[in-house]
Amino acid sequence: MSRVLIIGCGGVATVAINKCCQNSDVFTEICIASRTKSKCDALKDKLQPDTKTVITTAKVDADNVEELVKLIESYKPEAVLNLALPYQDLTIMDACLKTKVHYIDTANYEAEDTEDPEWRAIYEKRCKEEGFSAYFDYSWQWNYKKQFEEAGIMGLLGTGFDPGVTSVFSAYALKHYFDEIDTIDILDCNGGDHGYPFATNFNPEINLREVSAPGSYWEDGHWVEVPAMSIKREYDFPQVGMKDMYLLHHEEIESLAKNIPGVKRIRFFMTFGQSYLTHMKCLENVGMLRTDPVKVNGVEVVPIQLLKELLPDPATLGERTVGKTNIGCIFRGRKDGKEKTIYIYNVCDHQECYREVESQAISYTTGVPAMIGTMMVVTGMWNKAGVYNVEEFDPDPYMEALNKWGLPWVVEENPQLVE
Ligand code: NDP
């Protein structure tokens, strides 16, 4: 019933592709296209014998719009699911515009070279006007809204877990539990242990840039920025236990502030162990998180890319990771004039994910919603020309699909609150 081009074949894509193949009534044909075609071929060989979904593969450099256009024109998909890196968001959106094909992703645009003067000028203006200094923001992609409307295609942004499921939880809370939501605390807890002294659960470059950026939250109509890791809380996570968590800037704060009417405060917390933080600080202090090239024996090397080569590949962590993740949102607000507090969350077990799709829970909790968001688009369940975040649509079919496809959720009334 649908033909989808999936770009990228890393940790998240592997899960999303597994899930598409389990859902072959919707995903009748998929093409896996990435920079390294051998990875796409290996995944196809593994999955094709057990699925009705017809899988093809292709090589593509997603930084190159013309190459993308050629591939889209020859494969003729209804939608492109971008599971490469945030660096490729705009080139893939450009190609979708040129070919009039729907676009879906899980992470907002980031510039690969943050020293590029043209990008830097726009970034610095935004820092001043908006008040947060993370390298990523939605403005680049929201700017495509009019063009997507005119082309009659849809761009669905951020259908991973956070952003993604946490944003759908927010729309669901507003639809079914509240007249007004005052505060949202998004809590992302990984209680998993992979046994390495240091490794990141998804692409190291993207992950380390995210967590080493200053923290920020939305309060009373503006951003409040604080030094990285300077706000710490403890929380007793259902099925995981007590963990330290730290306030981070996170991309869904930006879209939820716009799309949840009247919300007064939105914060995002992620759990980190002390060893992770010590490693990260040390790497940052010695310059290993730098994204600009340095010369080593006459060869240009980007330190964070070298670090990525040295660290364990996140796609290989699954087998050795034990424990659970718990990701969700605590909402405070009012219903029928009465104060109300609820916590909606999902618990995901690393080893169960590994048994199902040979992946750890971080890739799983992103790959499943990537498949679900794409399903919403290609089945027409969510259908509106323009560029949108997931909380702008009816959350009910997505919430139902989460239960069906491996990420069941819980609504807890009167939960423990975060100070
Ligand atoms: P990986 O690094 O594991 O995979 C990235 C894939 O993209 C690789 O297959 C890589 O190819 C491919 N790729 C990179 N550059 C290009 C290019 N120029 N052209 C074609 N293919 C390219 O990343 P993850 O799977 O961990 O992450 C995928 C996405 O998911 C990221 O955008 C990440 O930010 C997002 N994410 C979102 C989350 C959420 O909850 N919303 C949580 C976690 C991740 P190669 O194999 O050759 O390197």
Is there a contact between 353 and 89 (Cβ–Cβ < 8 Å)?
Answer: no
Domain residue extents for the chain: 3-157, 165-359
Place of tokens 């503006």: 222
Tell the CATH topology of 165-359. Dihydrodipicolinate Reductase; domain 2 (3.30.360)
Q: Is 59 in the pocket of ligand 1 (CB under 6 A)?
A: no
Between the CA of 43 and the centroid of ligand 1 the distance, in Å, is 15
pLDDT tens track for 163-211: 999 999 999 999 999 999 999 999 999 999 999 999 998 888 888 877 8
Between the CA of 8 and the centroid of ligand 1 the distance, in Å, is 6
Is there a contact between 91 and 8 (Cβ–Cβ < 8 Å)?
Answer: no
- Asked if the ipTM is above 0.90, the reply is yes
Residue nearest to atom 7 of ligand 1 (CA): 84
Q: Tell me, what amino acid is at 358?
A: E
3-state SS assignment for residue 204: helix
pLDDT tens track for 284-333: 999 999 988 999 999 999 999 999 999 998 878 889 999 999 999 999 99
For a pocket test of ligand 1, which of 168, 346, 366 has the largest count of ligand atoms closer than 8 A to its C-beta?
366
Whether the bond into 408 is cis, omega within 30 of 0: no
Q: Do domains 3-157 and 165-359 have the same CATH topology?
A: no
Handedness of CA 252, 255, 256, 262 (dihedral sign): positive
Q: Tally Cβ neighbours within 10 Å of residue 76.
A: 12
Tell the CATH topology of 3-157. Rossmann fold (3.40.50)
Is there a contact between 134 and 226 (Cβ–Cβ < 8 Å)?
Answer: no
What is the SS3 string spanning 305-370? HHHHHHCCCHHHCHHHCECEEEEEEEEEEEECCEEEEEEEEEEEEHHHHHHHHCCCHHHHHHHHHH
